[in-house]
A and B are shown apart, each in its own frame.
Chain A
Amino acid sequence: MRLITYKTTTIAIVLILFWVILKFPTWNKENIEPVQIIDWSNVKDDPNEHLEFELIMPGDAVDSPDALLNEDAYAKRLLEEHFNVTLNYKMVDPATYERKAALVKASGFIHDVLIEETSMLKSSVKHGFIVPIPFEVICKYAPSYARIVQEWGNYGWQGSVVDGVNYGIPLIIADARYPKVGIWRKDWLHAIGFDRVPDSMEEYEKVFKLFKTSKPDAKSFLLAFGHELDAEQQQKVLDESNPVWAMSGDVINWRAGMFTEIFGAFNVQPFNWVLRDGEIAWGGTQEGSRKAVELLHSWYKAGFIHPDFVTDEWMGEVLSKLYAGVTGYLAHWSLYSELHPQGERVQTMGRLQRNRDRELLLRLGKSKLEADSLLENQSQRYVNLWSPATVPRGPDGYRGHRLYGAVGGFSGGYYAFGNTVIEKPQKVLRWLRMMETIMNDENLLINISMGKENLHWEWRDSELGPEPVGKEPFGTMSYKRNAEGLGWSLWHQEYGYLVQVPMKEFIVKRYFPPGKIEFRKRFTPSEWGDECLFGDTESNAPNHISSLIKRMNLYQQTKLTEFIVGDLDISEWDNYVREYNMLGGDEILIGMQQYYKEILETADRVNSNISIFEHKSL
C-alpha cells in the first residue's frame, strides 16, 4: 500500500500545525504596543475650531420610514450652529442595536461617539475600540452633569470602570423612578357592586372572586343595554359570555414589574437588592416573597390568574387580554400619559370595547341602525373604562410596588468615545461642553427635546392647567418628530434626543402638565416605592457575577412560577432557598457586596473631583 496516500499527508499536515500552535504560545506577543493613553493635560477645546462627529445611537423606531433623521433636522441644525460642529448620526433600530453595533465594530468602522451597555463596553475595551475618560476630565468639563448623576444614580459610575480606568459617561434620564401603577375595569367593578377601587389584599381577593363568578363583562353590558333587551336575549348574553380571569402577567419580564404590588404588600420585591440594616439583601429569598407566592398560588388555583401568564408578553398578549375583556386588572403602567383620559391606551380601550358591544348587539339581532343609536346614547360608557388602582395594603399593613428606575434611559447605557478621537481628543471635551451647556441652558434643552415653541408644540389650556401639547392631537406618538431630531413622544421626553441630557426638576415642573407631577408624587412616595439598590444595572457587576445573576434570575423565575402554578408545593420553599443559595445565591451575594463597595468608592472618587472643580467652576 503506498505509504504517502492522501489520508496520511493530510493527517501529517494537521499534526504539524498543532505542534506549531502549542510550541510557540507567545510567538509575537511582545511587539504589540498598548493603546496610547491620551495626555489630557495639554488638550484644549478651541470653540471656533470646527469639529466633525460620527455618531451611532439606537433611534426610537427607525423601522417606520418617517422616523429617519432628516438632513436638516431642526435639533441637529440647532446643535451644529450652537457648538460649531457637524453631527453625522447613524440611527439603528433599538431591537437589533446591540448585535448590529457589534458587527459594525467587528468590520473595523469605529464611530466617535457611541452608546454602549456595560457588557458591550467591556468587550469594546478588550478590542481597543474605545478610549479611557478619566473622572477628572468629566468633572472638570461637565460638573453639573456629574452632580446630577451623583444625585440620581451614583451606582452608574462603576458600570463603565474596567480595571480601575473609566471608559464612559453614564446616561441619565430625569427623575428615573417609574412606578408600577395598576388599573381596574371601572365598569366591571361597578357591575359587581364596588364603587371604589379595592385597597387591601382582602378586598382584592373579594373582587377577584366576584370577577370569577358573576360574569362582570356580561353584567356591565346588561347594565348599559339591558333595558333594550328582552329576558331571553339577556339570558343569552349571560350564557354566552366568555370565561373571565382577574389578571394575566409575563414571567419572562417578571423582573420589570409583574405582581410587584402583591409582593410589595408583604414588604419585599423578588428581584431587588435592598439594604437591610446596613447589609445588602436579595428580595427573592425573603420570607415576604414566600407569603406573596403562597397567596398568588391560592389565587391561581381559584382561577384568578390566566394560565397564559407563563409565556405572555406584557406589551402583547397581556395588554390585548385586557382590551378583549378577558382580564379585569393589570399593574404595569409607569407613565402618566398612559393613563391620561386622552391618552391612546384609554382611547383604544374605549374603541375596542365599543366594537365588541356592537358585535354582541348585532348577534343579539339588533339591526345596524338600532345598534349604532344604542351605542350613541351610551357613548359616555366608553370615555374612560379604567380607574387607577391604589397600591394595596398587605395583611401586616405594608404597601409597596417596584420602582422601575434605572441610570440612563437606555437601562444602563453610557456614552463612550471611539479610538478615532485619539488624533483629536478635543472632540471629547467639545462633547462634554455640549452636555454641560445644554444641561444649564433651559431654552436650548427644551428646543432639542420638545422642539420649537408654536412650531413643534404649543401651550394649550386643559382642565389641569396649561399643558405643552404637540401639533397633532393629544398623545399621538408620531415618528415625524424623530425626523426633526426630537423625542418621539412629547409626553415623556424628559431628556434631549440627539444629546441625551436630562431635564432638571424645575424644568420638568414648568413644562410638563401638573397632572403628571401630581401622578408621580402620588405613586412614588419613598415609603411605598422600593427601588433596587443597583437600579437595573446589576448586569454591570463583574463579568462572572453578571452571567451568574442572569442564570439565577432565570432559575428564580422558573421556581417562583412553579410555586404559583402548583407544580412545586409551598412547603418546598426552604429547600428552594437553600438550593438557590447553593447554586449561586451565596456567590452572587459576596460578589455584589464587593461590587457595592466599589460603587461607593467610585462615587467618592467622583465626589472628590466634583468638589475640586466646584469652586473653580467655569
Chain B
Amino acid sequence: MIKESFSSRLFDVVNILLLLILSFTMFYPFLYCLVLSLSSEAYASQGGFFLYPRSFDLTAYEAVFSKPHLLTGLMNSILRVLISVPISVFFTALCAYPLSRNETPYRRPLFLFVLFTMLFSGGMVPIYLLYHNIGLLDNRLVYLVQGLMLAFNVILVRNYFQNIPESMHQAAMIDGASEWYIFFRIYLPLSRPILATIAMFQTIFHWNAWFDAMIYMTSDTKVVLQGFLQRIVIQQEWQQLRDIYVGLPPESIKAATVIITVVPILFVFPFVLRHFSKGIMLGGLKE
C-alpha cells in the first residue's frame, strides 16, 4: 500500500471530525425544537441543552392545532405550491426559449429587458397600488403572480437550452416542425433536469414566501402557513391562546408551531436531494 503522508492522514481525521460537527449544527436546531415542543411545561422554561425530551407532552401541539388558521394556512400553502410551481416552470421555459435562439430578432435587448427586472424594482407602494387597481388585493391569485418568471431562473434555463446541440433544432426544422412543436416536443423533454431544478427552486420559493401574504392579504383565511407561523412566533401572537392554554410556556408553543411547519418540507427533501445532487452548472453564465 502506498504510505500516505502523516499530515494527509491527520488532515482526513480532522476534516471528517470538523464536517461531522458542522452537520450536527445543521441538525441540532431542529432536534432542539422537537424536544422543546414535546417537553412538559416545567422543563420547557428550564432552558439549557438537551438531546431527548424528558417527558412526552402534546399539549403544545394541541394548543397550536386549536388555532383555526393553521389548517387554512396549510391548505393555502399546498394549493399555492401545486398550482404556482408548474405554471411558473412552464412560463420560465417559454420565456427562455426565444432568448436562447440566435435568430430571434432583438434578442440582446429582450434579454436585457428580462435581466433588468431582476435588478430594479418599483418598490412596495406602486406594486401595492397596481394590485389594488387590478383587484389582486386579498386575492389568492397574488400567489401565482409572485415570482412567476424570475430572471435568474430564466437565465439558467436559457443556458441549458443553448447547451442542447444545434443539430437537434436543425433536424426538426428539416422535418418541417414549427417552433412551437420544437419547443414542446423536443426542447422541453430534453431539458427535464433543469426544469426539475427550477421546479425545486420555485417550490422552496413559494413554500417559504411569507411577506406577500403579510402585505397583500387582509382576511386571515387566505394567509399561507409561513404567514401563520410568522405571526405566532415572530409577532408573539401566541398570547391569543391564553383562554384555553394559560400557563403553557411560550417556548413550547413556538417550537410546536415550527415543527408543524417543518414537517411538510421534510417530505419534499428526498426529491430535492435527488435533483440537486445531480448538480446545476452555474459556471460560465454568459451566453
Contact = CB atoms under 8 A, between A and B. Distances in A.
Interface of A: 6, 61-65, 92-93, 95-96, 100, 103-104, 106-108, 242, 308, 313, 315-317, 319-321, 323-326, 344-345, 348-349, 351-352, 355-356, 359, 476-479
A355 B46 contact: no
Where chain B touches its partner, the secondary structure class is helix
Contacts of A479: 243
B68 A477 contact: no
A99 B129 CA distance: 15
Contacts of A313: 236, 250
Interface residues of B, number: 37
Given A63-B220, A323-B247, A242 B46 contact: yes
Contacts of B170: none
A359 B215 CA distance: 46
Contacts of A355: 40-42
B281 interface: no
Contacts of B243: 64, 476-479
A324 B55 CA distance: 15
| Most chain B CB atoms below 10 A, which of A63, A348, A477, A478 | A63
Contacts of A106: 125, 128-129, 132
B118 to A, nearest CB: 16
Nearest to B232: A63
A479 B243 CA distance: 9
Interface string B30-73: 00000000001110111100000001000000000001110000
Interface string B105-129: 0001100100000000000010011
B45 A100 contact: no
Contacts of B218: 92, 100, 103-104
B179 interface: no
B249 interface: yes
B227 to A, nearest CB: 11
Contacts of B125: 106
B247 A348 contact: yes
B192 interface: no
B210 to A, nearest CB: 13
A473 to B, nearest CB: 12
Contacts of B237: 63, 93, 95
Contacts of A317: 45, 249-251
Contact of B112 (A6, A100, A108): A6
Contacts of A108: 132
Given A317-B250, A348-B247, A324 B45 contact: yes
A93 B228 CA distance: 13
B141 to A, nearest CB: 16
Contacts of B47: 308
A62 B67 CA distance: 12
Nearest to B221: A65
A308 B47 CA distance: 10
A92 B231 CA distance: 14
Given A96-B235, A320-B250, 9 more contacts: A95-B235, A103-B215, A316-B238, A316-B249, A317-B45, A317-B251, A320-B44, A344-B242, A355-B42
Nearest to A320: B249
A195 B17 CA distance: 57
Given A65-B68, A348-B247, A323 B128 contact: no
B246 interface: yes
A352 B44 CA distance: 13
B104 interface: no
27 contacts: A6-B109, A63-B69, A63-B240, A64-B240, A93-B220, A93-B237, A106-B132, A107-B137, A313-B236, A313-B250, A315-B239, A316-B239, A316-B250, A317-B250, A320-B44, A320-B247, A320-B250, A323-B41, A324-B45, A324-B46, A324-B249, A325-B42, A326-B46, A344-B242, A348-B247, A352-B42, A355-B41
A351 B109 contact: no
A356 B57 CA distance: 13
Contact of B45 (A64, A95, A320): A320
Looking at B128, B240, B247, the one whose CB has the most chain A CB atoms below 10 A away is B247
A321 B235 CA distance: 20
Nearest to A10: B112
A478 B249 CA distance: 20
Interface string B203-225: 00000000000010010100000
A213 B120 CA distance: 62
A63 B67 contact: yes
Given A61-B240, A317-B249, A320-B250, A356 B69 contact: no
A324 B44 CA distance: 9
Interface in B64-95: 67-69
Nearest to A321: B45
Contacts of B215: 103
A470 to B, nearest CB: 13
A11 to B, nearest CB: 13
B95 to A, nearest CB: 19
A100 B218 CA distance: 7
Contacts of A6: 108-109, 112
A471 B218 CA distance: 33
B97 to A, nearest CB: 22
B242 A477 contact: yes
A352 B112 contact: no
A357 to B, nearest CB: 10
B231 A95 contact: yes
A261 B128 CA distance: 47
Contacts of B220: 62-63, 93
Nearest to B66: A64
B247 A316 contact: no
Nearest to A349: B247
Nearest to B43: A324
Contacts of B137: 107
B109 to A, nearest CB: 5
Interface string B248-267: 11110000000000000000
A107 B132 contact: yes
Contacts of A104: 218
A65 B69 CA distance: 9
Nearest to B245: A348
A356 B125 CA distance: 52
A316 B46 CA distance: 13
A108 B132 CA distance: 9
A479 B68 CA distance: 14
A557 B246 CA distance: 29
B116 to A, nearest CB: 9
A568 B248 CA distance: 36
Contacts of A95: 231, 235-237
A476 B42 CA distance: 23
A23 to B, nearest CB: 23
A103 B46 CA distance: 41
A260 B44 CA distance: 28
Contacts of B68: 64-65
Contacts of A63: 67, 69, 220, 237, 240
